[in-house]
């Protein structure tokens, strides 16, 4: 349900010329699927609607946070798919999480409850 003031869409840069690579990474690591809108934009709908812009501007990057039922397994899957762990699993109030970068250099986090 769309509501004024609520997060409705998340757009992240795919890196210059790496739209296929970033799509492949998310498909392998998290089983995401995509809808292409021309050669430089691909949308996803995976819990929150969003998309990757194949022609990013100089805007700062967001930190999307994904959920996992099994944090260690998800970390292993991210590494096997080609992600780079930039902050290993650590505790925070409310759970544990790790941060990684995807092949386009976007930083994301994955969290799990304690």
Tens-digit pLDDT string for the chain (114 aa): 667 557 667 878 887 768 999 999 999 999 999 999 888 889 998 887 777 767 766 654 677 888 999 999 999 999 999 999 999 999 987 789 999 999 988 888 898 987
For residues 25 and 34, the answer to whether their CB atoms sit within 8 Å is: no
Q: Is 1 exposed, middle or buried (0-12, 13-18, 19+ CB in 10 A)?
A: exposed
Q: What sign for the dihedral angle of Cα 9, 10, 15, 20? A: negative
Instruction: Report the pLDDT value the prediction gives residue 81, as an integer from 0 to 100.
Output: 95
Instruction: Report the pLDDT value the prediction gives residue 4, as an integer from 0 to 100.
Output: 55
Instruction: Report the pLDDT value the prediction gives residue 93, as an integer from 0 to 100.
Output: 76
Instruction: Report the pLDDT value the prediction gives residue 59, as an integer from 0 to 100.
Output: 53
Instruction: Report the pLDDT value the prediction gives residue 10, as an integer from 0 to 100.
Output: 83
Please name the CATH architecture into which domain 10-112 falls: Roll (3.10)
Give residue limits of the domains in the chain: 10-112
d(CA 110, CA 96): 8
Residues 6+ apart with CB under 8 A from 27: 33, 34
For residues 50 and 43, the answer to whether their CB atoms sit within 8 Å is: yes
């Amino acid at each position: 349900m769309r509501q004024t003031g609520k997060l409705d869409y998340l757009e992240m840069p795919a890196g210059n010329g790496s739209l296929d690579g970033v799509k492949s990474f998310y498909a392998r690591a998290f089983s995401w699927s995509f809808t292409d809108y021309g050669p430089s934009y691909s949308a996803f709908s995976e819990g929150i609607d969003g998309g990757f812009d194949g022609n990013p501007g100089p805007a700062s990057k967001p930190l999307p946070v994904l959920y996992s039922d099994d944090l260690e397994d998800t970390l292993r899957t991210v590494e096997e798919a080609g992600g780079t762990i930039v902050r290993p699993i650590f505790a925070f109030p409310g759970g544990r999480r790790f941060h990684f970068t995807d092949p386009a250099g976007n930083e994301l986090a994955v969290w799990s409850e304690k």
